[in-house]
């Protein structure tokens, strides 16, 4: 009686070399697929307003591909079709709950190989070590495969990983330490690594809570300011809302533009570094509340126009080149406060705040010129 015909073992050394050679020929196609797929993900995530920290991509190198199909633990009959992670993309998001949004997007836009995909979430099994990965093995959807520009990739798969920033950090460091499973860890290190894993998991949750609390706080501050209540402390949340809604800030910005400040970036979002500098300056001159800042800005209307005009004058070496100062609400507030509290500020302070020395000297000299009474300031027009 004849035994059933055995399938050909493609893990022999000769066959492996042939397969690797075949992959080397086809690898440019996989590289193009990786690049095109990354661009597609970037576009899809943007259209869904999902903010990412980073999108990483890679196409398996020849050595990595050869190592994988050479492992004695698995026999590949058709490696180029069975190896599902030749193209790999990692979508790294800021918050843990953003992961679910990316998962929904993937399941909507692609065909999922559920048998080879994993949706193990952190903490799903308390006995498991470290973060558990969420990854999909995908193919292009049927509708996209029919498009001429995607037809050449119709049979290709890709592995998509979706970690948060902290999960990505854990994976990178644990990979460097080479501890992939609990059994790999020396007993003397287990407690320390388990504690660290738990702390990072808790940090992921806490960052999400802080984000949500910040959103709630922003809505509350927005409501209070709209009702005329400015008796709130100065911080990033309150100051940003004040600058967005303040009519006096808007007037001062427009005045500065009329005297030559560049308004090209006025409509863009506030710059965190500039906001931080303004908060630091407020603290330095003992302005603790939005109401205090608002009062100073309103008072400055008497002299702000002359001050802006003088700042834009070409003097000395400046007369040989165009002076370009980009306006922003926070920068205008800083200029007003420098003039108002000139006696409390010096060149060293501005340089410590990363001001250019020449610009700092210019602002301080103009502030010195207009530190007299309102009538003296008015005479400068």
Enter the DSSP assignment of 270.
Answer: P
Which helix (H) or strand (E) element contains residue 158? strand 158-161
Looking at the fold, whether 240 and 190 belong to one and the same domain comes out as no
| Of 247, 243, 299, 236, nearest in space to 273 by CA | 236
Q: What is the pLDDT of residue 2?
A: 45
Looking at the fold, whether 172 and 237 belong to one and the same domain comes out as no
Q: Which residues contact 135 (CB under 8 A, 6 or more apart)?
A: 117, 118, 159, 160, 161, 162
Q: For residue 337, what are the domain limits?
A: 230-378
| Residue the block writes with tokens 């010129």 | 369
Looking at the fold, whether 158 and 241 belong to one and the same domain comes out as no
| Of 134, 193, 118, nearest in space to 167 by CA | 134
Please check whether residue 57 lies inside any domain of the structure. yes
Q: pLDDT exceeding 70 applies to what percent of the chain?
A: 82
Please check whether residue 85 lies inside any domain of the structure. yes
Looking at the fold, whether 236 and 374 belong to one and the same domain comes out as yes
Tokens, residue 93: 């998001």
Looking at the fold, whether 159 and 41 belong to one and the same domain comes out as yes
Enter the DSSP assignment of 145.
Answer: H
Residues 163 and 103: their CA atoms lie apart, in Å, by 11
| Residue the block writes with tokens 């308004």 | 263
Looking at the fold, whether 168 and 303 belong to one and the same domain comes out as no
Bridge partner residues of 161 (DSSP): 90, 135
Looking at the fold, whether 348 and 236 belong to one and the same domain comes out as yes
User: What phi, psi does 130 have (nearest 5°)?
Assistant: 70, -170
Please check whether residue 213 lies inside any domain of the structure. no
Residues 202 and 196: their CA atoms lie apart, in Å, by 10
Q: What is the pLDDT of residue 121?
A: 53
Looking at the fold, whether 239 and 370 belong to one and the same domain comes out as yes
Please check whether residue 173 lies inside any domain of the structure. yes
Please check whether residue 334 lies inside any domain of the structure. yes
Residues 55 and 323: their CA atoms lie apart, in Å, by 39
pLDDT in tens, 273-282: 889 999 999 9
Last residue of a domain, one of 169, 194, 219: 194
Please check whether residue 2 lies inside any domain of the structure. no
Residues 131 and 123: their CA atoms lie apart, in Å, by 7
Q: What is the pLDDT of residue 305?
A: 92
Residues 375 and 381: their CA atoms lie apart, in Å, by 11
Residues 225 and 233: their CA atoms lie apart, in Å, by 12
pLDDT in tens, 315-332: 545 544 455 678 899 999
Q: Using 50, 70 and 90 to split pLDDT, how confident is the model at 180? A: low
Let me know: does 165 contact 93? Beta carbons within 8 Å: yes
Bridge partner residues of 59 (DSSP): 87
Looking at the fold, whether 124 and 266 belong to one and the same domain comes out as no
Q: What is the pLDDT of residue 37?
A: 96
| Of 297, 379, 376, nearest in space to 340 by CA | 297
pLDDT in tens, 69-95: 887 667 788 888 889 999 999 999 999
Looking at the fold, whether 64 and 19 belong to one and the same domain comes out as yes
Q: pLDDT exceeding 90 applies to what percent of the chain?
A: 56
Measured in whole angstroms, how far is the alpha carbon of residue 342 from the centre of its chain? Answer: 37
> What average pLDDT is seen over the chain?
84
Q: Is the dihedral of CA 230, 236, 242, 248 positive or negative?
A: positive
User: What phi, psi does 351 have (nearest 5°)?
Assistant: -65, -40
Question: How confident is the model over 230-248, as a mean pLDDT?
Answer: 92
Q: Using 50, 70 and 90 to split pLDDT, how confident is the model at 15? A: confident
Please check whether residue 216 lies inside any domain of the structure. no
Last residue of a domain, one of 173, 194, 215: 194
Is pLDDT of 172 > 90?
no
Question: How is 64-120 classified by DSSP, letter by letter?
Answer: HHHHHHH-TT---SSHHHH-TTSEEEEEEESSTTHHHHHHHHHHHHEEE-GGG-EEP
Question: How confident is the model over 262-291, as a mean pLDDT?
Answer: 84
Looking at the fold, whether 55 and 157 belong to one and the same domain comes out as yes
Q: Using 50, 70 and 90 to split pLDDT, how confident is the model at 3? A: very low
| Residue the block writes with tokens 């209540």 | 229
Residues 36 and 154: their CA atoms lie apart, in Å, by 13
Number of domains in the chain: 2
Please check whether residue 215 lies inside any domain of the structure. no
Q: What is the pLDDT of residue 195?
A: 83
Looking at the fold, whether 118 and 18 belong to one and the same domain comes out as yes
CATH label of the domain that carries residue 138 = 3.30.460.10
Question: How confident is the model over 292-316, as a mean pLDDT?
Answer: 88
Last residue of a domain, one of 194, 214, 244: 194
| pTM for the whole structure | 0.71
Q: Is 181 exposed, middle or buried (0-12, 13-18, 19+ CB in 10 A)?
A: exposed
User: What phi, psi does 173 have (nearest 5°)?
Assistant: -75, -45
């Amino acid at each position: 009686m004849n035994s059933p015909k055995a399938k050909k073992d493609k893990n022999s050394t000769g066959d492996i070399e042939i397969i690797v050679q075949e992959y080397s020929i086809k690898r440019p196609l996989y590289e193009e697929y990786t690049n095109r797929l990354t661009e597609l993900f970037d576009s899809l995530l943007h259209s869904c307003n999902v903010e990412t920290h980073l999108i990483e991509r890679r196409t398996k190198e020849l050595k990595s591909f050869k190592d994988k199909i050479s492992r004695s633990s698995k026999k590949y009959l058709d490696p180029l079709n069975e190896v599902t992670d030749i193209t790999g993309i990692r979508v790294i998001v800021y918050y843990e709950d953003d992961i679910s949004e990316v998962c929904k997007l993937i399941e909507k836009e692609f065909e999922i190989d559920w048998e080879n995909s994993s949706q193990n979430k952190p903490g799903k099994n308390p006995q498991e070590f470290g973060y558990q990965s969420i990854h999909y093995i995908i193919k292009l959807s049927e509708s996209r495969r029919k498009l001429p520009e995607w037809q050449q990739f119709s049979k290709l798969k890709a592995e998509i990983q979706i970690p948060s920033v902290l999960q990505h950090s854990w994976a990178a460091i644990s990979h460097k330490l080479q501890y992939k499973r609990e059994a790999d860890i020396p007993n003397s290190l287990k407690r320390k690594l388990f504690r660290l894993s738990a702390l990072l998991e808790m940090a992921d949750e806490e960052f999400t809570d802080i984000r949500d609390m910040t959103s709630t706080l922003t809505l509350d501050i927005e409501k209070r300011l709209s009702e005329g209540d400015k008796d709130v402390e100065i911080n990033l949340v309150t100051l940003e809302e004040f600058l967005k809604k303040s009519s006096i800030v808007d007037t001062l910005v427009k005045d500065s533009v009329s005297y030559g400040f560049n308004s090209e970036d006025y409509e863009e979002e506030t710059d965190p570094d500039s906001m931080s500098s303004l908060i630091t300056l407020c603290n330095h001159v003992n302005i603790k509340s939005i109401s205090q800042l608002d009062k100073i800005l309103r008072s400055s209307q008497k002299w702000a126009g002359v001050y802006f005009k003088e700042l834009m004058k070409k003097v000395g070496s400046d007369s040989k080149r165009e002076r370009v100062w980009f306006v922003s609400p926070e920068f205008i507030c800083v200029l007003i406060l420098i003039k108002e509290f000139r006696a409390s500020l010096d060149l060293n302070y501005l340089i410590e705040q990363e001001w250019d020395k020449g610009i700092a000297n210019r602002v301080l000299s103009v502030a010195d010129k207009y530190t007299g009474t309102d009538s003296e300031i008015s005479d400068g027009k």
